[in-house]
Structure 1
Amino acid sequence: MSSTPLSAAQLQKHPEFPHVNWDLTPTKKGTIAAAKDRGGPINIAFETHGTGPSYIVWIMGLGSMKTAWQRQTRDFGHTQGDKYTCLLIENRGVGESDKPLMRYSTSEMAKDITEVLDHLEWTKERQLNVVGISLGGMIAQELGLLVPKRIASLSLVSTAAAIKNTVGFIENLRNRINLFIPRSLDAQVAMIKHNLFSPEWLSQPDESEFVKEKFPTNGDRIGAGEVAKRMDTVSYPRSGFVSQALAAGWHYKSPEQLASLGDQVGRERIMVVHGGVDRMITIPHVHVLINGLGGEGSGIAIKLEPGQGHVLPIEMRKTFNGWVEELVDKAEQLSRE
Structure 2
Amino acid sequence: MANTDGRPDVAQILSHPSYPDTIWKLTPTKSEYLPVGEGRGGPFKIHYEVHGNGPVKLVWIMGLGSRKTAWQRQTLKFGHEEGNKYSSLVFDNRGMGLSDKPLLRYSTSEMAKDVLEILDHLGWTAERELHVAGVSMGGMIAQELALMAPNRICSLSLISTAAQIENTTSFVENLRTRVNMFLPKTLDRSVSDAAHMLFSNAWLDSPDDTRLPNASTPNVELPSSGSYGMFETNYQRFAAQEVTKRLDLDGFPKKGFMMQAIAAGWHYKSPKQLEALGDKIGRERIMVLHGTKDNMISVPHGRKLIGLLKPGVGVIKEGVGHVFMLEDAKWHNEMMESLILKTEKLKEGKK
TM-score of the superposed pair, with normalisation by structure 2: 0.91
Partner of 2:93: 91
Q: Deviations over 1:167-211 (max 9, x none)?
A: 56654443333x3xx321111111111110010010011112454
Is residue 169–residue 279 contact of structure 1 (8 Å, CA) maintained in 2?
A: no
Amino acid in the other structure paired with 1:116: I
Aligned 1:192-231 pairs, distance under 5 A: 192-209=194-211, 211=227, 213-231=229-247
2:312 and 2:267 map into 1 onto residues whose CA distance is: 22
Partner of 2:23: 21
Aligned 1:118-137 pairs, distance under 5 A: 118-137=120-139
Q: Deviations over 1:217-275 (max 9, x none)?
A: 10011011111111100000010001000100000000000000000011000000000
SS of the counterpart of 2:128?
coil
Amino acid in the other structure paired with 2:255: S
SS of the counterpart of 2:25?
coil
Partner of 1:101: 103
Q: Please tell me whether residue 255 in structure 1 is matched to residue 271 in structure 2.
A: yes
SS of the counterpart of 1:86?
strand
Aligned 1:12-161 pairs, distance under 5 A: 12-161=14-163
Q: Please tell me whether residue 176 in structure 1 is matched to residue 181 in structure 2.
A: yes
Report the alpha carbon displacement of residue 213 of structure 1 after superposing the two structures with TM: 3.2
Amino acid in the other structure paired with 2:46: I
Partner of 2:7: 5
1:56 and 1:40 map into 2 onto residues whose CA distance is: 26
2:25 and 2:58 map into 1 onto residues whose CA distance is: 20
Amino acid in the other structure paired with 1:292: L
Q: Deviations over 1:130-155 (max 9, x none)?
A: 00000000000000000000000000
Q: 2:253 aligns with which of 237, 240, 257?
A: 237
Q: 2:283 aligns with which of 264, 267, 282?
A: 267
Q: Cα–Cα, structure 1 residues 110 and 244, in superposed 2: closer, same or farther, change >3 Å?
A: same
Report the alpha carbon displacement of residue 11 of structure 1 after superposing the two structures with TM: 0.8
Partner of 1:313: 325
**Residue identity (%):** 52
Q: How many positions carry a matched residue from both structures?
A: 329
Is residue 58–residue 132 contact of structure 1 (8 Å, CA) maintained in 2?
A: yes
2:260 and 2:138 map into 1 onto residues whose CA distance is: 10
Moved over 2 A (4+): 165-177, 209-213
Is residue 169–residue 280 contact of structure 1 (8 Å, CA) maintained in 2?
A: no
Is residue 21–residue 229 contact of structure 2 (8 Å, CA) maintained in 1?
A: no
Report the alpha carbon displacement of residue 166 of structure 1 after superposing the two structures with TM: 4.3
Q: Deviations over 1:30-87 (max 9, x none)?
A: 1111011111102111000001111100000001101000000001110111110000
1:301 and 1:209 map into 2 onto residues whose CA distance is: 26
Is residue 15–residue 212 contact of structure 1 (8 Å, CA) maintained in 2?
A: no
Report the alpha carbon displacement of residue 93 of structure 1 after superposing the two structures with TM: 0.4
SS of the counterpart of 2:94?
coil
Partner of 2:339: 327
RMSD value over aligned CA atoms? 1.5
Instruction: Name the stretch that deviates more: 163-172 or 21-30.
Output: 163-172
Partner of 2:220: none
Amino acid in the other structure paired with 1:203: D
Q: Deviations over 1:313-337 (max 9, x none)?
A: 1111111101101111111110111
1:219 and 1:318 map into 2 onto residues whose CA distance is: 18
SS of the counterpart of 2:280?
helix
1:34 and 1:170 map into 2 onto residues whose CA distance is: 35
Amino acid in the other structure paired with 1:336: E
TM-score of the superposed pair, with normalisation by structure 1: 0.94
Instruction: Name the stretch that deviates more: 11-20 or 140-149.
Output: 11-20
Is residue 303–residue 316 contact of structure 2 (8 Å, CA) maintained in 1?
A: no
1:234 and 1:172 map into 2 onto residues whose CA distance is: 26
Report the alpha carbon displacement of residue 292 of structure 1 after superposing the two structures with TM: 1.8
1:34 and 1:62 map into 2 onto residues whose CA distance is: 20
Is residue 202–residue 218 contact of structure 1 (8 Å, CA) maintained in 2?
A: yes
SS of the counterpart of 1:52?
coil
2:155 and 2:129 map into 1 onto residues whose CA distance is: 9
